[in-house]
Amino acid sequence: MSRTLLSTVNPPHRLLMGPGPINADPRVLRAMSSPLIGQYDPVMTDYMNQTMALYRDVFRTQNEATLLVDGTSRAGIEAALVSLIEPGDRVLVPVFGRFGLLLCEIAERCQAEVIRRDIEWGQVFTPDAIEAMLRETRPKVLALVQGDTSTTMCQPLAEIGALCHQYGALLYTDATASLGGNAFEMDAWEVDIATAGLQKCLAGPSGSSPISISPRAVEVIRQRASIEAGLRGDADAAIAVNHIRSNYFDLGMILDYWGPSRLNHHTEATSMLYGAHECARLLVEEGIEAAVDRHQLHGDAMVQGLKGLGLSLFGDLDHKMNNVVGVYIPDGVPGEAVRQTLLNDYAIEIGTSFGPLHGKIWRIGTMGYNARKDTVLTTLAVLEQVLRQARARVVAGGGVGGANEVYAQGGRG
Amino acid sequence: MSRTLLSTVNPPHRLLMGPGPINADPRVLRAMSSPLIGQYDPVMTDYMNQTMALYRDVFRTQNEATLLVDGTSRAGIEAALVSLIEPGDRVLVPVFGRFGLLLCEIAERCQAEVIRRDIEWGQVFTPDAIEAMLRETRPKVLALVQGDTSTTMCQPLAEIGALCHQYGALLYTDATASLGGNAFEMDAWEVDIATAGLQKCLAGPSGSSPISISPRAVEVIRQRASIEAGLRGDADAAIAVNHIRSNYFDLGMILDYWGPSRLNHHTEATSMLYGAHECARLLVEEGIEAAVDRHQLHGDAMVQGLKGLGLSLFGDLDHKMNNVVGVYIPDGVPGEAVRQTLLNDYAIEIGTSFGPLHGKIWRIGTMGYNARKDTVLTTLAVLEQVLRQARARVVAGGGVGGANEVYAQGGRG
């Protein structure tokens, strides 16, 4: 293009019913368009403190160390793992989907001794199975995804933190896809570090990663702490021997920036912080339990609607996340062509899938701002038409009918 | 707060005349409030391609590998260094301020053999001095800040890339503070990797880091490339032996996401991309040379205004960045109290300083959206009043008068 002046962005309307990102709540976008202020302006540091307090409610924790990592959800994952793991540390990763593989990969790059345990995609691990692994392998860190969008499964975590602590391990969990739409109890479940993103049930854009860190994990991180050379006083120690192998993801430094000492690290991404603040406010205002109930209601409605159309669903439905469902592409139906028709003719996006499920299932999300009755019914109505056009056998009216039965029972919408 | 519902963010008016962040151009904030679309929506991938093309203009390069790293400017720095440096690699860092120290620190965390060469804060290195260091130390990478806001200095780079290549080194430069407000010629100066941020002369918020990578540097990175386990086909190699020690900052993977193969990595931070796109459009629309001229004009006006007030300026003014100036806090004047008065009574923010300059100089910026005549004259008018109130000797009308002389000569504003 060289000198051509392209136009400003002007994205078309889309109803994003895939596994995320989804449409941001307009309140979040409005908050993000607020004017900037300086990073040490008292108003800004107050917003940072408010954000910490709001995310304590979202994560259901008393952890002082609850803040944002500036980057997408995988920035939060890497910050957690690189801040905990020293080269040679043993890390156990039970894998039930693509994002478990990501945890393995990031831990390997931290030079951990990674012990990977796989289960068939579409299943989750029992606490007994995880206890057996802990007993056998005695890891420093158990890294476990809560909700893996690649399979739609939600790993039960309630007993895992206590098991980890019984066997001397720390529990890290990636709650990116699940937080806000499925029960999550940081303190009651004894989770040591949890990370998330805004682009799923939190109804915001990708680009900021909420994180909460238990006092036990803070202690581990503090033993590896450094103060940047440009900020170090004479009394401060030089870089620690077992220093964290990243500056950007050094949670000790990030804590010093968010904490009372306010030691400069990065320049906080102000607009993303405004957005993250509003995402948490939406959830706290609604009530976390009410938000989870809402995701369950609309998730159930989507499930019953898809069944009502005569489609088969993927995986162990007793352990499905509330906010996303995998549905088998009917025999003979061209999966990608159907997705294109949905997008081009109806402006509705549903998801494809990764790895062993690629070409076999679609993934349909009902989360955040889009966990609503109108989005569920519209998607089912449209899907019926598009499937019929693709010569699939569908039950006329079965999608909307199935969903409406759930709404009639649930009495909400 | 527990259950208290805090209000949505509603930041007060501020005129941000520090070393950045500065007020974002309202066009950038409007672009950022646009609705989200899916990450593989053809409209989104087209916006990604446009963003690459726009930043090629901004960096003055033909580099295909020109894109965004999702994080603040130091995310771009770390992505560049961790993707180039293998443990044990020799990295030369000529340090002329705090951000040179940051390059040392990040290179150390990459386990480089770091060779640091210091110069007094307020000076820059001559090409001869840098050639002597290259000849002596033969590094794999020369890491050099272009504009270091801690000292306001702008390191001349025009000859450095060719020198690096003569001695078999790659040139990385951190152009966060300088890009868009000072001449920068990626290709003509043979820079191998340059990174930036939006919150300085680009008139946007912190949170996205534009980066450009020469074919020579891409080749180095490609030799260390990995494909994520969850995405790897049977024919793809396993993780490389000399693999990049970060997943999030693996520029090979980030290139695969931005390139034709569109291999999923992170979920692009859509709103920040919209903002980065508009930041580049503003500069391309104005013309890069015109933008640099504008920064020079208003920077000169600020310099002459401060001199006109009778204040002393910091450092080698022949090598000052156009967009920021260091001014000595007059004897007996309480520097922090003056800054507080400026903020509280006039809603104007100027900068404090780091390290050896802390408590000695203020830093005043004229950059991006705030490189304007009204902001310069207002700041000078207010500074005169506040200094007088603090019992400093100032020349009445000298600030605005000095600036207006520059505007009279420059014939613009």
Tens digits of residue pLDDT in B315-373 = 999 999 999 999 999 999 999 999 999 999 999 999 999 899 999 999 999 999 999 99
Among B247, B264, B284, which residue terminates a domain?
B284
CB of B35 within 8 Å of a chain A CB? The answer is: yes
Prior bond to A21 cis, omega within 30? yes
- Which residues partner with B193 through β-bridges? B172, B213
Residue type, A146: Q
Looking at residue A413, its pLDDT comes to 42
Closest by Cα among A265, A229, A245, A243 to B118? A229
On whether the CB atoms of residues B38 and A350 are closer than 8 A, the answer is: no
- Reading the block at residue B120, the tokens are 């007094």
**pLDDT band (50, 70, 90) for residue A50:** very high
CA separation, residue B87 to residues A81, A276, A404, B112 (Å) = 20, 36, 60, 5
Residues B277 and B321 in one domain: no
Residues A161 and A274 in one domain: yes
| Helical ranges in A331-390 per DSSP H | 335-346, 373-389
pLDDT at position A6: 75
| Residues B294, B279 share a domain | no
Phi, psi of B148 (to 5 degrees): -105, 105
Q: Token pair of B101, please?
A: 């120290």
B255 and B305 part of one domain: no
Q: Assess if residue B59 is contained within a domain.
A: yes
What is the pLDDT, as a whole number, of residue A405? 98
pLDDT tens-digit series, residues A264-316: 999 999 999 999 999 999 999 999 999 999 999 999 999 999 999 999 999 99
**What's the farthest any 2 CA atoms get from each other in chain B?**
76
Last residue of some domain: B284, B299, B329? Answer: B284
Residues 354-383 of chain A with CB under 8 A from chain B are: 354-355
Residue A1 pLDDT more than 60? no
**Chain B contact present for A32, CB below 8 A:** yes
Nearest to B346 by CA among B23, B10, B15: B15
Residue B391 has pLDDT above 70, yes or no: yes
B231 pLDDT more than 90: no
For residues B95 and B145, state if they share a domain: yes
What is the per-residue pLDDT for A130? Answer: 98
Q: Which residues contact A49 (CB under 8 A, 6 or more apart)?
A: none
What's the number of CA atoms in the CB half-sphere (13 Å) around residue A287? 4
Give the per-residue pLDDT at A226.
72
DSSP state letters, B297-324: HHHHHHHHHHHHTT--B-S-GGGB-TTE
Tell me the per-residue pLDDT of B152-195, one tens digit each, with 9 for 90 and over.
999 999 999 999 999 999 999 999 999 999 999 999 999 999 99
For residues A329 and A271, membership in a common domain is answered with no
pLDDT of residue B412: 47
Lowest mean per-residue pLDDT among A205-219, B232-246, B265-279, B390-404 = B232-246
For residue A287, list chain B residues with Cβ-Cβ distance below 8 A.
none
Q: Are the beta carbons of B71 and A75 separated by less than 8 Å? A: yes
Q: Kindly state whether residues B297 and B166 are assigned to the same domain.
A: no
In Å, the largest CA–CA distance within chain A is 76
Chain B residues closer than 8 Å to A265 by CB: 74
Examine the pLDDT at B413 and tell me if it is beyond 50: no
Each residue's pLDDT tens digit, B2-11: 455 679 999 9
Q: Would you say residue A20 lies in a domain? A: no
A7 falls within a domain: no
Give the tokens for residue B115. 């060779």
As for the ipTM of the complex, it is 0.96
Report whether B238 contacts B214 (CB < 8 A).
Answer: no
- Would the annotation count A363 as a binding residue? yes
| Domain that residue B364 falls in | 289-410
Residue A351 lies in a domain: yes
Which of A233-237, B41-45, B68-72, B320-324 has the lowest average pLDDT? A233-237
- From chain B, pick out residues whose CB is under 8 angstroms from the CB of A2: 57
- Does the beta carbon of A263 lie under 8 angstroms from any beta carbon of chain B? no
Task: Give me the residue from A11, A70, A274 closest to B71, CB to CB.
Answer: A70
Residue B380 pLDDT level (bands cut at 50, 70, 90): very high
CATH number at A277 reads: 3.40.640.10
- β pairing state of B348-349 and A153-154: unpaired
- pLDDT tens across B235-287, in order? 565 556 688 999 999 999 999 999 999 999 999 999 999 999 999 999 999 99
CA angle, corner B339, sides to B333 and B341, nearest 5?
95
Instruction: Tell me what the mean pLDDT of segment B383-412 comes to.
Output: 93
pLDDT tens for each residue of A86-104: 999 999 999 999 999 999 9
Nearest CA in chain B to A62: B2
Question: Looking at residues B208-224, what average pLDDT do you find?
Answer: 97
Residue B51: inside a domain: yes
Question: Looking at A10-24, A219-233, B252-266, which range is the least confident one?
Answer: A219-233
Q: What is the pLDDT of residue B410?
A: 75
pLDDT at A198: 98
Report residue B180 as tokens.
């868009």
Contact B270, A205 (CB under 8 A): yes
Which residues of B contribute to the annotated binding site for substrate? 363
**How many interface pairs between A and B have CB atoms less than 8 angstroms apart?**
306
This prediction's pTM: 0.96
Shortest Cα distance from A139 to chain B (angstroms)? Answer: 21
Distances (CA, A) of B274 to A11, A28, A246, A277, B50: 10, 15, 28, 20, 11
Residues 67-86 of B with CB under 8 A from A: 70-75, 78, 82
